[in-house]
Structure 1
Amino acid sequence: MNLHQLRFVREAVRQNFNLTEAAKALFTSQPGVSKAIIELEEELGVDIFTRHGKRIRGLTEPGRAVLKSVELIMQEIDGLKRIGKEYAAQDSGSFTIATTHTQARYALPKVVQAFMQRYPKVRLSLLQGNPKQIAEMVMRDQADLAIATEAIAGIDGLVSMPCYQWEHVVVVPPEHPLLKLKSITLEEIAHYPLITYDGAFAGRSKIDHAFEIRNLKPDILLEAIDADVIKTYVELGMGVGVIAGMAYDAERDKNLRSIPVGHLFGMNVSRVAVKNGAYLRSYIYTFIELLTPTLNRKLIDQVMQGGKDTYDL
């Protein structure tokens, strides 16, 4: 048994049981991958994959158990490599963050700037997607950590920790009738066409739930993944926008006014998530601490070892 065989098994699954694509991903030949997998099956005495002719189609029941062990072994191997690299170069390396557009555009710039000033030799990359996509990026080792709202909490294989709270705001043109009200209600918002986030982003589920429990059916005119897009159409007078509070800046958005609506849609919590059992380089701890001062290395390790995130934001 060798590491090449384990890598081949893992990559075959990742490539949807296509050995040709697995071979390409690992820069080797398809016959070599096939032979190595057969040799591993012979050594273990079980079939890892179901087959139709020479093609593999899926995992057998013992194959699923083998894959779990393979993932753990390869994760440990990756951890050993990272330990070596960190001790060889404490202040350099690569660091990939998977996050949503809202976080990348509005919440992270100052944190990233402070981080890069402290670690100028670290190559930092930002990958964007919806919460499901960025969670998958971390699970597939394409990113070191994910940052999004509550949507990434409770995903098997990830450890997530709360970072900071935020609320939605309604954005409208300067002379909009809603600005004259002392206290805004859902019923009053529902009188106007609504422009807000796509269902996978920025607490949209809370917006929908708030209207639902009041038996209101707002006219959703437009859905977008980008708060800047939402604000653009609000400026054109096409409707009322509901965006994350962090996405509104009075100085920058001079053609808009905002109304806090946390009392209507509830508070949201952005979270940072890492792969369960991942080895975190020292500068990743630093980044998380810059992101949220309530977290430190001791608390992060406690949560990753199975402790509850009992700290207050």
Structure 2
Amino acid sequence: MNLHQLRFVREAVRQNYNLTDAAKALFTSQPGVSKAIIELEEELGVDIFKRHGKRIRGLTEPGRAVLQSVELIMQEIDGLKRIGKEFAAQDSGSFTIATTHTQARYALPKVVQAFMQKFPKVRLSLLQGNPKQIADMVLKDQADLVIATESIAEIAGLVSLPCYQWEHVVVVPVDHPLLQSKALTLEEIAVYPLITYDSAFAGRNKIDHAFQLRNLKPDVLLEAIDADVIKTYVELGMGVGIIAGMAFDPERDKGLRAISVGHLFGMNVSRVAVKQGAYLRSYIYSFIELLTPTLNRKLIEQVMHGEKDSYEL
């Protein structure tokens, strides 16, 4: 048994059981991958993959157990490599953050700026997507950490911690009738066409749930993943917008006004998550500490090692 065989098994699964694609991803030959997997199966005495002719179609039951062990072993190997690199260069390397548009556009710029000033030798990358996509990026080792709202808290394989709370705001043109309301209600909002987030983003489930509880069916005219898009169509007079409070800036959005509606839709919590068992370089801990003053390296390590069952704001 050797590491090459384990890598081939893992990559075959990642490439949807296409050995040609797995070989390309690992810069080797398809026959070599196939032979190595067969030799591993012979050594273990079980079939890892289901086959149809010469093609593999999926994992057998023992194959699923083998894959779990392979993932753990390869994660430890990757951790050993990162440890070596970290002690060789404490303040340089690469760092990839997977996050949503709202976080990247509104919550992270000042944090990223402060981080880059502190660690100028680190190559920082930002990857964007919906919560499921960005969580997968971390699980597949394409990113070091993920920042999103609550939806990442329940994803298996991730260890997540809360960063900060935020609430939604209703955005309207400067002369809109809703600005005259002393205590905005869901009934008042539902009178107008709504422009808000796609269902995968920024607490949209809380918005829908609040209306459902009051048996209201608002006319959602437009859904978007980008608060700037929502605000653009609100300025055109097409409807009332509901966005994350962090996405509204009175100086920048002078043609709009914002009304806080945390009392209607509740508070939301943005979270940071890493892959369970991952080795984090020192500057990643520093980034998390810059992101939120409520977290520090000691607390993060406690949670990652299972010494603290939960931590909430």
Bin the TM-score by the shorter chain: over 0.9
Which runs of structure 2 are paired with 1:238-253 in the superposition (5 Å)? 238-253=238-253
3-state SS in 1 of match to 2:38:
helix
Match of 2:309 in 1: 308
Aligned length: 312
Q: Is the 8 A contact 2:173 2:237 kept in 1?
A: yes
* Identity value in percent: 87
The alpha-carbon deviation at position 310 of structure 1 amounts to 2.8
Q: Which runs of 5+ in 1 are unaligned?
A: none
Q: Is the 8 A contact 2:195 2:240 kept in 1?
A: yes
The alpha-carbon deviation at position 309 of structure 1 amounts to 3.1
The alpha-carbon deviation at position 173 of structure 1 amounts to 0.1
What one-letter code is carried by the residue in structure 2 that aligns with 1:113? Q
Which runs of structure 2 are paired with 1:184-199 in the superposition (5 Å)? 184-199=184-199
Match of 1:257 in 2: 257
TM-score normalised by length of structure 2: 0.99
What one-letter code is carried by the residue in structure 1 that aligns with 2:231? K
Please give the alpha-carbon distance, in whole angstroms, between the structure 2 residues aligned to 1:309 and 1:120.
34
Q: Is the 8 A contact 2:96 2:143 kept in 1?
A: yes
Cα deviation 1:119-159 (Å, max 9, x = unaligned): 00000000000000000000000000000000000110000
3-state SS in 2 of match to 1:153:
helix
Which runs of structure 2 are paired with 1:1-313 in the superposition (5 Å)? 1-306=1-306, 307-310=308-311, 313=313
The alpha-carbon deviation at position 214 of structure 1 amounts to 0.3
3-state SS in 2 of match to 1:233:
helix
Please give the alpha-carbon distance, in whole angstroms, between the structure 2 residues aligned to 1:220 and 1:113.
36
The alpha-carbon deviation at position 305 of structure 1 amounts to 1.1
Give the RMSD, CA atoms, in angstroms: 0.6
3-state SS in 2 of match to 1:192:
coil
TM-score normalised by length of structure 1: 0.99
What one-letter code is carried by the residue in structure 2 that aligns with 1:60? T
3-state SS in 1 of match to 2:83:
helix
Cα deviation 1:74-103 (Å, max 9, x = unaligned): 000000000000000000000000000000
3-state SS in 1 of match to 2:17:
coil
Report runs of 4+ in structure 1 exceeding 6 Å deviation: none
Q: Which moved more, 1:299-308 or 1:18-27?
A: 299-308
Please give the alpha-carbon distance, in whole angstroms, between the structure 2 residues aligned to 1:172 and 1:50.
57
Please give the alpha-carbon distance, in whole angstroms, between the structure 1 residues aligned to 2:256 and 2:11.
50
Cα deviation 1:10-48 (Å, max 9, x = unaligned): 000000100000001001100000000000001111100
Cα deviation 1:160-219 (Å, max 9, x = unaligned): 000000000000000000001111000000000000000000000000000000000000
